[in-house]
A = this chain, B = another copy of it.
């Protein structure tokens, strides 16, 4: 049940990739890569990795089918290239915003949870609703991958967990008494709420009788931040409340 395509593979196809440094500088090659990436991004987002063939992608990109293998090695390499292309820009802004929030609260009291969450989510929702159309596909793809047992644990971790750790560390400062596990599970809930939003499945539209629209990401964002902020606080407050530690001795920073 494993291998779908031909099995006649001996090497890996990778050995024929254009060398990273030398190639890709020509504008012709670069344009081809981008066309393929654009099409792959859009189609993978619609039907997932297995639901789209390499020929679907190169056909939509109007390039020869062999160019996918030439530029990205194989289908999985293409998927990872789609992931990587926008991840760098994304992580850079998220990281900078987190730094800014922490710097603004410097020395003084801990940062506000809402500000930390906003620093983490705003770059995403803003690009999805106001960026180029490719961004919307990109996030829809992330939504699908994040909930996939096969790819979720590896791809998401590889590309996004460094900045996620930075986010969790900022929350840790905002809620110094919070237990570690509560912190991570609360992030997990945020991640799930956020990625389902990106999927834009239209289910909420139907359910709400049209009152809510999946594509209205601004409405989502202004609710997601207070929702999750309250969730973070509730989890941490609960743990401080029940075992009832002396509260003067325990509340240390």
A-to-B contact residues, CB < 8 Å: 1, 4, 43, 45-53, 55-56, 59-60, 140, 143-144, 146-150, 152-153, 156-157, 161, 164-165, 168, 180-182, 184-197, 199-208, 211-212, 219-220, 223-224, 226-235, 238
Nearest CB in chain B to that of A156: its residue = B203
- Evaluate contact between A197 and B192: CB separation under 8 angstroms: yes
Are A147 and B149 CB-contacts (below 8 A) given A60-B1, A180-B208, A212-B181?
Answer: no
Question: Which 7 residue pairs across A and B have the least CB separation, nearest first?
Answer: A192-B196, A152-B201, A230-B234, A227-B231, A50-B51, A189-B193, A153-B202
- Evaluate contact between B228 and A157: CB separation under 8 angstroms: no
Nearest CB in chain B to that of A206: its residue = B157
Copies of this chain assembled into the complex: 2
Q: Which residues of B contact A208 (CB under 8 A)?
A: 180-181, 184
Are A46 and B219 CB-contacts (below 8 A) given A189-B224, A227-B235?
Answer: no
Once the chains are docked, how many angstroms separate the CA of A155 from the CA of B227?
Answer: 27
A230: which of B149, B190, B200, B231 is its contact (CB, 8 Å)?
A: B231
**Max chain B C-beta neighbours (<10 A), residue from A48, A191, A232, A235:** A48
Chain A contact surface mostly: helix
Once the chains are docked, how many angstroms separate the CA of A156 from the CA of B199?
Answer: 13
Nearest CB in chain B to that of A191: its residue = B196
Interface pairs (7), CB distance under 8 Å? A144-B144, A146-B201, A152-B201, A153-B203, A164-B207, A189-B196, A192-B195
Are A149 and B140 CB-contacts (below 8 A) given A52-B1, A185-B204?
Answer: yes
**Max chain B C-beta neighbours (<10 A), residue from A207, A211, A229:** A207
A161: which of B45, B192, B196, B206 is its contact (CB, 8 Å)?
A: B206
Once the chains are docked, how many angstroms separate the CA of A220 from the CA of B180?
Answer: 14
Are A201 and B149 CB-contacts (below 8 A) given A53-B1, A192-B192, A211-B184?
Answer: yes
Q: Which residues of B contact A60 (CB under 8 A)?
A: 1
Once the chains are docked, how many angstroms separate the CA of A73 from the CA of B103?
Answer: 61
Are A223 and B144 CB-contacts (below 8 A) given A192-B192, A192-B195, A234-B230?
Answer: no
Are A228 and B226 CB-contacts (below 8 A) given A188-B204, A211-B180?
Answer: no
